[in-house]
Structure 1
Amino acid sequence: MRKRIISQDIEDIIPPDEDWLDLEILAKAELTSEDPSHPIELALRPGDGPGWRASESGQQAVRLLFDKPLRVRRIYLVFREDEKERTHEFVLRWSSDGGKSYREIVRQQYNFSAPHNTLEIEDYDVDLAGLTTLELSIIPDMSGGLARASVAQFCLA
């Protein structure tokens, strides 16, 4: 078994080499809320800062509306929680008809528990032909606490 211990600094969690899409050019973002110091742009650029965070607690959504239909083969997500022990859930859904109907890609829960479980890294091989809308919905604390939703990296290829 080959192993190595990796750092849990977000700066070190850069998606593996890939031709990542420039989402700032290809899509418009719709958000339920946004902390001005953590705008969505910081999550859409691989390895570029702390990522996006909601301005309020509770369930939140990030929706990417693409200017023209795309084919996406990979989705890379990184979530980080350094302070509060909690369980979050996210749902990733896609649409090929401009958001009139959606198909679920994944529904996932993860338990954050500092200092050991502070990062959740999700890397999905997909084949989304004709993608027009991608939605990430996050329940930041399944117990109903006041945690704010966030995503450190949200990359597509």
Structure 2
Amino acid sequence: MRKSIVTQESQDPTKKGIDWLDLESIARVEITSEDPLQPIESALQPIGAPGWCADAPGLQRIRVLFDHPQRIARIYLLISEEEVGRTQEFVLRYAQDGGDTFREIVRQQFTFAPPGTTVEQEEYQVELAGVTALELEIVPDLSGETAKAKLGRLLFA
């Protein structure tokens, strides 16, 4: 029998040696809202700042528009909420025509219940070729309360 102790750090997808796309050099980003203290740039890199937060409550969109079509094999998403209990929904979509026609990759709901359930972490294996745009739409609170959308990481490989 072989045995090894695996720490949380080694299970973190952002540290697996994956060649995440350097979005700063190959894409531009459109967002519907942004807290100046938590800009979108901090959520689109494997390590660093605490992530993005919307400046306003309600539905938010983050759209990544690639300079040239990309092949996407992996999508990593991390959202945490340590303050407000809420059920959110997100939809992840892609386009191959510059963003005119989007196809849904996944639609998912998640309930945050601090202090116990505070982190949603998803990693999707996909086979997408010729991707010109990726869009993340977040409804931060399905009950209609005034929660703000948050995003710890959004990475593509």
TM-score, normalisation: structure 1 = 0.91
Report Cα offsets for 1:121-149 as digits up to 9, x if no partner: 01000111000000000000000011101
Q: CA deviation at 1:13?
A: 5.0
Q: CA deviation at 1:17?
A: 2.6
Report Cα offsets for 1:88-129 as digits up to 9, x if no partner: 000000000011111000000000011111000010001110
Q: Secondary structure at the match of 2:144?
A: coil
Runs of 5+ consecutive residues of structure 1 not aligned to the other structure: none
Matched, 1:86 2:82: no
**What is the total number of aligned residue pairs between the two structures?**
152
Q: Against the structure 1 CA distance between its residues 105 and 52, is the aligned structure 2 distance closer, same or farther, given a 3 Å change threshold?
A: same
**C-alpha separation between the residues in 2 aligned to 1:41 and 1:88?**
22
Equivalent residue, structure 1, for 2:71: 71
Q: CA deviation at 1:6?
A: 4.8
Report Cα offsets for 1:16-61 as digits up to 9, x if no partner: 3301110111110000011111111100111212101110000000
Q: Against the structure 1 CA distance between its residues 14 and 36, is the aligned structure 2 distance closer, same or farther, given a 3 Å change threshold?
A: farther
Equivalent residue, structure 2, for 1:56: 56
Q: Against the structure 1 CA distance between its residues 128 and 147, is the aligned structure 2 distance closer, same or farther, given a 3 Å change threshold?
A: same
Equivalent residue, structure 1, for 2:146: 146
Identity %: 50
One-letter identity of the residue aligned with 2:66: F
- The alignment yields a C-alpha RMSD, in angstroms, of 1.9
Q: Against the structure 1 CA distance between its residues 53 and 13, is the aligned structure 2 distance closer, same or farther, given a 3 Å change threshold?
A: farther
Conservation of the 8 A alpha-carbon contact between 1:33 and 1:55: yes
- Which structure 1 residue ranges, 4+ long, deviate > 6 Å from structure 2? 2-5
Higher-Rg structure is 2
**C-alpha separation between the residues in 2 aligned to 1:123 and 1:64?**
18
Conservation of the 8 A alpha-carbon contact between 1:13 and 1:47: no
Q: CA deviation at 1:150?
A: 1.2
**C-alpha separation between the residues in 2 aligned to 1:14 and 1:48?**
14
Equivalent residue, structure 2, for 1:114: 114
One-letter identity of the residue aligned with 1:92: L
**C-alpha separation between the residues in 2 aligned to 1:75 and 1:122?**
8
Runs of 5+ consecutive residues of structure 2 not aligned to the other structure: none
**C-alpha separation between the residues in 1 aligned to 2:59 and 2:144?**
10
Matched, 1:40 2:40: yes
